[in-house]
């Protein structure tokens, strides 16, 4: 069975600085997808970034980028130039490929606080 581990329950960063959130996963699959979702306080969860395992290039979305290390089974999220609006719970998630009805498996989340 696949598992996703987020070892940092809480983190704090100063506004405008860079922060990295860690995520590791365990799988024997070769084809899979990895996601970071963001849940702001009292607001709906949204997708931040997605990575296909077959792609070697790390995904980026504006200030958000990932460091995907397939051999190490690591998928960290880097947030550059942190903003107050980045304060949220961040969830790493895994989905195996090769099927149309596969499930997302979430980590336990990292609560990020951006300090002014």
Find the binder of other proteins among 20, 27, 33, 70 (CB under 8 A): 33
**Binding of residue 41 to other proteins (CB under 8 A):** no
9 contacts 91 by C-beta, under 8 angstroms: no
Q: What is the DSSP letter of 29?
A: -
33 contacts 94 by C-beta, under 8 angstroms: yes
Q: Backbone phi, then psi, for 84, in 5-degree steps? A: -55, -35
**Binding of residue 24 to other proteins (CB under 8 A):** no
Find the binder of other proteins among 28, 41, 44, 71 (CB under 8 A): 44
The contact pattern for other proteins, residues 74-93, with x = CB under 8 A and - = no contact, is -----------------x--
């Amino acid at each position: 069975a696949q598992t996703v581990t987020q070892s940092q329950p809480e983190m704090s960063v100063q506004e405008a600085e860079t922060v990295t959130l860690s995520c590791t996963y365990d799988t024997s699959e070769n084809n899979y997808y990895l996601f970071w979702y963001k849940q702001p306080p009292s607001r709906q969860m949204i997708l931040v970034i997605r990575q296909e395992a077959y792609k070697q290039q790390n995904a980026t979305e504006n200030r958000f980028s990932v460091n995907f290390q397939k051999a190490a089974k690591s998928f960290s999220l880097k947030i550059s130039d942190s903003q107050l609006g980045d304060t949220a719970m961040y969830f790493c998630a895994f989905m195996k490929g090769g099927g149309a009805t596969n499930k997302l498996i979430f980590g336990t989340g990292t609560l990020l606080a951006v300090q002014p």
